[in-house]
Amino acid sequence: MAGSGNDVTVAVVGAGAAGVGAAWRLAQAGCDFQVLEARDRIGGRAWTVTGLGPDALDLGCHWLHSADRNPWVGVADELGFMVDRTPAPWGRTTGNPAFPPGGQAEFRADREAFWDRVHAAAEAGEDRPASDLADPASPWNPLIAAGSTWANGVEPDRLSTLDHWRYDDTDFNWRLPAGYGALVAARARGLPIRLGCPVTRIDHSGRRIRLETPQGTLTADRVIVTLPPPLLLTGGVVFHPALPDKLAAAAGLPLGLADKLYIALDRPDMVPVEGQIYGRIDSTAIGAYHLRPLGRDYIEGYFGGIIARRLEAGGIDAFFAHAVDDLVRAFGSAIRPHLRPLTASAWARDPLALGSYSHALPGFADARAALAAPVEGRILFAGEACSANDFSTAHGAYQTGVAAAEQVLAAAP
């Protein structure tokens, strides 16, 4: 199955969840292939870091969304990764005296009504900004918009009603204590993957496709491209002949931003286990905090959209300063000396990602199908942005990678 030299049947560009899914399926079929990955690690936006304490920390994808049908659950079982089925905390908000239960009930009612209006518009075929459906009389609009930044990486004014409606969520959300990124890397073990090998040009003008890299030129019959949409637009990878339809689709599918900050807590008794609080309830530019997930002695801070981009510019110190102010507001100044920053993501500033996960701009809900469409039957595209119903997830990426590999295998002579 491993690619020999620089001449293979199939080349896979990218070793994130989609590339690993494609590679695994090709390996099962005994296909001659090679994966080319620009990073010095496997996983892409699935990234688990260790060595900062006793726990594995996911800076990228974290939750096994739609876990009752998520293929990564089966991979975890196969590879011996424990799956924790504790319910996700975002269905409840605990521990913040500034957000009493009565206010929470009002907020949830307004939030549900807003998304019901968004989906009703989509069912009527309307592809417009979700923000158009906000109730101008609702005092909860800023907090509802903040929720969109964590879930979609973007505020509702840049979110397509139709694209959001198409997302299929079964509301089962489980976790991997050893890390989602670690699972993706484990699935890739033994596969022919060249790290530190960015593809700069894909020339499909001849009978065989030529992929230019700093490690030399590789030729292949078919190529599966798994890069995030922004990377198709920056010119880092050039197609010859050009693919203007792909660039138009990619332009309609930018990556939103959702960053995480991990904070060590040396007095864990000061906050509830598996609680969740918001930094404020009257603003969109806020963080959400998961308190002591899985009983561990840290806090996960979530920041999305515009506030995440602003904080990225200041690095981990800016994230931490913002989070400390929020946590002091919730629990009092006594908690301040017991907090210490561990690590934070910065996906918008990552040149090989340029964001966290895709959202369709208003009017571009059909761009996902356009991005996923094969070119000449020889160049296939995969990744979460190519998924019609499971975009923004590692399982959506994985499934599109497997599907692309299946198309390659079906076309083999």
* pLDDT tens-digit readout, 367-397: 999 999 999 999 999 999 999 999 999 999 9
Using alpha carbons, list the distances in angstroms from residue 10 to 50, 120, 195, 370: 33, 43, 17, 22
- 210 φ, ψ (degrees, to nearest 5): -110, 125
What is the reported pLDDT for 38?
98
User: What does the alpha-carbon distance between residue 309 and residue 316 come to, in Å, rounded to a whole number?
Assistant: 12
Q: What is the pTM of this model?
A: 0.96
Please report, for the domain that includes residue 180, its CATH number.
3.50.50.60
What is the reported pLDDT for 103?
86
Same domain, 143 and 242: no
Same domain, 264 and 126: yes
List of the chain residues with pLDDT < 50: 1-4
Same domain, 407 and 340: no
Q: By residue range, what is the domain housing residue 186?
A: 7-44+70-79+175-254+359-411
Contacts of 209 (CB under 8 A, 6+ apart): 11, 202, 203, 219, 220, 221, 222, 223, 378, 379
Contacts of 86 (CB under 8 A, 6+ apart): 174, 175, 274, 294
Residue 140 forms part of a structural domain: yes
What is the reported pLDDT for 162?
98
Same domain, 238 and 305: no
Please report, for the domain that includes residue 128, its CATH number.
3.90.660
Same domain, 139 and 155: yes
What is the reported pLDDT for 1?
43
Contacts of 376 (CB under 8 A, 6+ apart): 204
Residue 50 forms part of a structural domain: no
Same domain, 334 and 364: no
How many domains does the chain contain in total? 2
Residue 379 forms part of a structural domain: yes
Last residue of a domain, one of 321, 349, 377: 349
Best CA proximity match to 291, nearest among 308, 269, 312: 269
Handedness of CA 242, 244, 250, 251 (dihedral sign): positive
Same domain, 208 and 270: no
Residue 211 forms part of a structural domain: yes
Same domain, 368 and 244: yes
What is the reported pLDDT for 2?
46
Same domain, 37 and 183: yes
Contact yes or no for 386/372 (Cβ under 8 A): yes
What is the reported pLDDT for 412?
78
Tokens of 10: 């199939």
Last residue of a domain, one of 315, 330, 349: 349
Same domain, 190 and 334: no
What is the reported pLDDT for 95?
60
Same domain, 225 and 93: no
